[in-house]
């Protein structure tokens, strides 16, 4: 009986937290929803790193962030272009590839010195849809997809998994940008 009460209390707290998050759909002008599939939270809409890191269900973020060491040559190439590019990321908090690559991306941009204001993170549901039409505009098919923009125009994208490494693939895209 006591175990049942504890379980009900946990379920109620989880429901209350989800309700509060969903009720406050705007945090720093970000619009998103949090859904639960029973085992994990699925974010849909525009979020930021702080939102992902603050969800205690996403221990994968800090673990994969800390274990990643991007190579120095690619970091230098990205540093030389950092003021000329922006990033649009489509990710799924439920997706194994996102769990692997998104923390690496943030470790990389931290080492390069790219500002959060140059990164837009859009989370999608399992059908790869979000709260806006960006998934259609950018013809999203796989996640994560990291789109590099220069002057609001796409100059290249990283899709799902690296050819060489995340940082080498991104450096290869930006190396010839003026």
In a domain, 38, yes or no: no
Q: Is the pLDDT of residue 28 over 80?
A: no
Residue 45, domain member (yes or no):
no
Domain with residue 170: its CATH number is 3.40.30.10
Residue 93 placed within a domain: yes
* Spatial CA neighbour of 37 closest among 130, 140, 126: 126
Instruction: Please indicate, yes or no, if residue 37 is contained in any of the structural domains.
Output: no
The per-residue pLDDT of the chain, averaged, comes to 88
pLDDT digits (tens, 9 = 90+) for 161-173: 999 999 999 999 9
Using a pLDDT cut of 70, give the percent of the chain over it.
Answer: 84
Mean pLDDT of 54-67: 94
> What average pLDDT does this structure show over 34-46?
87
**108 domain-assigned:** yes
Q: Is residue 27 included in any domain, yes or no?
A: no
Report the pLDDT value the prediction gives residue 1, as an integer from 0 to 100.
61
Q: What is the pTM of this model?
A: 0.82
The answer on pLDDT for 27 being more than 50 is no
Count of structural domains within the chain: 1
**Considering the domain boundaries, does residue 77 fall inside one?**
yes
Q: What is the pLDDT of residue 23?
A: 45
Q: What residues make up the domain containing 164?
A: 65-174
Q: What pLDDT sits at residue 36?
A: 81
């Amino acid at each position: 009986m006591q175990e049942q009460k504890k379980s009900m209390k946990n379920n109620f707290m989880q429901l209350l937290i989800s309700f509060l998050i969903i009720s406050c759909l705007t945090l720093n002008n970000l619009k998103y929803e949090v859904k639960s599939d029973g085992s994990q939270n699925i974010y849909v809409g525009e979020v930021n790193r702080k939102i992902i890191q603050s969800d205690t269900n996403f221990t994968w973020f800090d673990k994969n962030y800390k274990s990643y060491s991007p190579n120095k040559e690619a970091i230098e190439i990205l540093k030389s272009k950092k003021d000329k590019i922006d990033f649009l990321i489509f990710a799924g908090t439920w997706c194994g590839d996102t769990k692997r690559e998104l923390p690496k991306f943030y470790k990389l941009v931290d080492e390069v010195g790219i500002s959060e204001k140059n990164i837009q993170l859009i989370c999608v549901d399992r059908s790869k849809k979000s709260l806006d039409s960006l998934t259609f505009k950018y013809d999203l098919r796989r996640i994560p997809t990291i789109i590099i923009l220069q002057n609001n125009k796409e100059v290249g994208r990283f899709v799902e998994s690296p050819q060489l490494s995340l940082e080498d693939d991104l450096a290869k895209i930006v190396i010839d940008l003026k």
